[in-house]
Amino acid sequence: MPTVSSEELAAAAGVNSAKLRKDFSYLGSYGTRGVGYDVEYLVYQISRELGLTQDWPVVIVGIGNLGAALANYGGFASRGFRVAALIDADPAMAGKPVAGMPVQHTDELEKIISDNGVSIGVIATPAGAAQQVCDRLVAAGVTSILNFAPTVLTVPDGVDVRKVDLSIELQILAFHEQRKAGEESSADSADDAEGTAPPAAAKPHRKGPDGDVPAVMPA
């Protein structure tokens, strides 16, 4: 029986072994003292707890560049997701195959969701259409939404929304990049150091240090 110790697993994942053991204990996954965890059993338990053993039908609404990329993304199928339908508002798209699947018109949205028992929807529409699409998805029975549109969606209680903003990750990188570059010349007259002038009426009394380290950005 192939096994792994929490120590090996922790080293491979770059985390603390005690934390890993504690997390496993929350999941109810018991190992064997003196031996470790049965690999096969552990994989099965984690997969099941995470919902990977289930088949989740999802619909993707908005088949532009991003929608098509998602439809073609191989990582979904292996994680238990099945793209049940591709939906777009453009009548010219209807019937056109994307990722080996015909695009369907928004008119069919409610029927598709109910026929396939879809509870997870992906929104890849322009920002303007997102809330409207969201409302229709929720009304049709979807209770989890992954939103790629740059808008904050309003949903009733009981519906989960996760927002993915592609530019936020870039911003975080740029933030660190800026910090790297600015490291040699600190403690300068920080206000107009960056080329762009501050607003005219601004800067009422500015007292604080400017070169300190904000603690508000993810590492």
Judged by the rule CB under 7 A, the positions of this chain that interact with DNA are 4-7, 15-19, 21-22, 24-25, 29-37, 205, 215
Q: Under the criterion CB under 8 A, does residue 26 sit at the interface with its own copies?
A: yes
Tokens 């979807």 appear where?
A: 142
Q: Cβ(88)–Cβ(67) under 8 Å? A: yes
Q: Is 194 in the site for its own copies (CB under 8 A)?
A: yes
Residue 51 touches its own copies, criterion: CB under 8 A? yes
Stretch touching its own copies by CB under 8 A, among 85-93, 104-112, 129-137, 145-153: 145-153
Spatial separation of the C-alpha atoms in residues 121 and 139, rounded to whole Å: 12
Instruction: Burial-class residue 109 by CB neighbours within 10 Å (0-12, 13-18, 19+).
Output: buried
Cα–Cα dist 38/6, whole Å: 11
Sequence-ordered list of residues with C-beta below 8 angstroms from that of 26, at least 6 positions apart, any chain: none
Binding partner selected for residue 188 from DNA, its own copies, none, CB under the kind-specific 5 to 8 Å limit:
none
Q: Which one among 33, 156, 187, 205 touches its own copies, defined by CB under 8 A?
A: 205
Stretch 78-97 residues interacting with its own copies (CB under 8 A): 79-81
**Which residue stretch of 51-59, 87-95, 103-111, 128-136 sits at the interface with its own copies (rule: CB under 8 A)?**
51-59
Q: Which two tokens stand for residue 31?
A: 């190992």
58 binds its own copies (CB under 8 A): yes
